[in-house]
Each structure stands twice: as structure tokens, then as C-alpha cells.
Amino acid sequence: MRTNRKTYGLLTAILLLLVFFHYLGWLTFFENFARKILNPILTETHKTSVKAGDNVRYFKNRDEFITAYENCLNEKEDNNVLNTKLKLLEDENTELKTQIKYLQKNPTEHVTLDVVGRDLNSAEQIIILNGGSNHQLAVGQPVVIREGILVGKVFKVEPNLAWVRVVNDHGSKIAATILNNDHSLGIVEGGYGISLRMKFIPRNEVINVSEDVVTSGLDGLPRGLLIGKIAVVENEAYQPFQQAILTPSHDLTKLTVVTVLVK
């Protein structure tokens, strides 16, 4: 029993010393060395898991498979129609871009980073990026993918690593607006990594399924970053506000490269 106490005492003392040395900065060399070795391994593991996820789709039964196939065919037809519209819009867009170039005096600075992996010792939806304060990253900056799809916000930064709380994490709250006639405002909250829910939408405003939801810019994030589309509207008579379930614009479990808007 005495030996056990001694072992526990020693282990606790060593851990406390580690913490002390960490905050003094004496462990920085070892931390950076370990991260330098482990970062590529973690990144490759993460990329492999994303690839594996892309190739697997489960169907419970034959009917579900056939329904999915029919939906796929329908979507293909819809896409053909959309492609025609897109062509027209593309021409228009090229013209607009030329004009915007003249108006953009202060372009947004951004940093593109690899996703190292997920936070290992947490049940929350947190991803780790391979860049930190050395790359101009700071707490609260928005993280996006593609043409401005919001992924989350930076909430912890170290010189060469940053932690991002993904929008579908239970702790994430983003001020948002729906692109409907009323431009309804609300707050998008995560649902334990599974769903997105927009709350506090005034009951008298009309919102429809498939309408886009973007950041409103009221909480410091840039306005207009795409969050998702409305999938279900819940407007109960006894509730002071209506709310909506959103489908994220991108699969948030399959992030490999992201862009942080640093200014």
C-alpha cells in the first residue's frame, strides 16, 4: 500500500511538473518535435478515414436502395435543368466579377490549412488545424470551405496548431439569417454533432424548406457565409418562436482542407 502511495505521489508530481514546465515554455521543443512527427500521421489517418467514408453507403433493405437510385435519377434530371440555368448565370457572373474587382479595395485575408484530425479526448465536435498564431490565426475567426461555406470558429490557438468548434457541435451558436422575403433572423445551434437547428425565428415570418441560411454578421462573423438549407420547419402554436432543422451545406465529418478568414 505504501509503494502504491509512493507511485501515485510520484506520478502526480511528474504530471504537475509537466504542467508547470509547459506554462514556463520549457517543453516547447519537445511538444513541437512530437507534433512534427505526429501531425503527418494524424493527417494521413484523417484523410484515409474521410476516403473510407466516401466509399461506403449502407442500405437497410432492397427498397431503400431502389428509392435512393430513383432519387438519384430524379436529381440528375433536375441537375440537367439547373446546368442550363447555370450556364446563363455563369456568363452574368463573369461580367459581375469584372465589376467587383474594381470595388474590392480591401480583400479578405485568408489562410488555407490542413485538418490534422479531431480532438482525441473530447466528445465534442472539434477539429485540429496544422496552423496557429504563427499563421495569423486568432480566436473567433471563421473557418470556411469552398466558396464560403461556414465550417466553424477558431476557439483555441497555439503557435502551430488551432482548434475549431464545428458548427454542428452542441456548443456552437451562430447568428444567422434566412434568404427568404423577410430575411428572418435567428441563431443556428449545433445538435451533438448530428444536426443543425435554427432557433428564435419570429413566428409571423414565412420560411420554406430548401431556403438557404447564411451568417447574419451580427456576432462578428462576416455576413453571407453559407451555413445550410432549411430541411424542416417547426412552428408550434404554443411556442413564442418558430425553429427550423437545417441540412449542412457540406458533410462536416469529411473536412480535409479548410480556409480561415484571418481579417
Partner 1 sequence: MKKIWKIIIALIVSAGIFFLQILAKEFLPYPLNQINIIFAAMAWLLILTGRVGILWYGAPLAFLIEIFSSSQFGLNSLLLLFSFLLIFWLLINYFTNRSLLIVMLLGLIGMTFYRSCYILYQLVFTSGGDNINWSLGGIFSLYGVEIIITTVALTLFYLLTTIFIKKLNPSYISISKL
- In angstroms, what is the minimal distance from the CB of 36 to partner 1? 11
Tell me how far apart the alpha carbons of residues 58 and 65 are, in angstroms, rounded to a whole number: 9
Closer to partner 1 at the Cβ: 26 or 69?
A: 26
Contact 225, 167 (CB under 8 A): no
CA angle centred on 166, ends 170 and 232, rounded to 5°: 65
Closer to partner 1 at the Cβ: 172 or 242?
A: 172
Closer to partner 1 at the Cβ: 80 or 254?
A: 254
- In angstroms, what is the minimal distance from the CB of 105 to partner 1? 30
Task: Determine what percent of the chain falls in helix, strand and coil, rounding each to the nearest 5.
Answer: 35, 30, 35
Q: Which residues of 177-204 are buried (b: 16+ CB within 10 A; e: fewer)?
A: bbebeeebbbbbbbeeeebbbbeebeee
- In angstroms, what is the minimal distance from the CB of 39 to partner 1? 9
Which chain residues interact with partner 1 by CB under 8 A? 1, 3-4, 7-8, 11-12, 14-16, 18-19, 22-23, 30-31, 34-35, 38, 42, 45-46, 48-49, 52, 116-124, 126, 128, 139-140, 153, 155-156, 161, 163, 165, 170-173, 189, 192-194, 219
Closer to partner 1 at the Cβ: 124 or 205?
A: 124
Q: Which residues of 33-65 are buried (b: 16+ CB within 10 A; e: fewer)?
A: eebeeebeebbeebbeeeeeeeeeeeeeeeeee
Tell me how far apart the alpha carbons of residues 139 and 166 are, in angstroms, rounded to a whole number: 14
Closer to partner 1 at the Cβ: 25 or 107?
A: 25
Closer to partner 1 at the Cβ: 49 or 180?
A: 49
